[in-house]
Amino acid sequence: MSHNRDAWVSQRAYSLWESEGRPDGRGESHWAQALKEFEQLELTKASPDGNDLIEKLKAAGRLMRIYDEAAPAVENDRQIKAAR
């Protein structure tokens, strides 16, 4: 583990411990939860321009259409609503 990762996980585990009223014997579960949260954050990091995230969403099948394809549909919807 890198120093930054250890420091983040340690601080997050401590925060979880405090938020639960500082219970005894929960250190391992707080550490595991903090580590899981850190790993999830690492997976969501994107490039400064967002292209990494777009590619990940496409690969996961979660990006249904690109903005350029959606824009005319939005404009048409506005025209229909304005005509009513």
Q: How many domains does the chain have?
A: 2
Structural domain for 61, as ranges: 47-84
Residues 5 and 35 both lie in one domain: yes
Query: Which pLDDT does position 31 carry in this prediction?
Result: 95
Answer yes or no: do 64 and 27 share one domain: no
Residue-level pLDDT at 68: 46
Task: Check whether 71 has a pLDDT greater than 60.
Answer: no
Q: How much is the pLDDT for 6?
A: 93
pLDDT tens, residue by residue, 12-65? 999 999 999 999 999 999 999 999 999 888 887 766 667 777 777 777 776 555
- Which of 50, 21, 59, 18 is closest to 10 using CA atoms? 18
38-58 burial: b if 16+ Cβ within 10 Å, else e: beeeeeeeeeeeeeeeeeeee
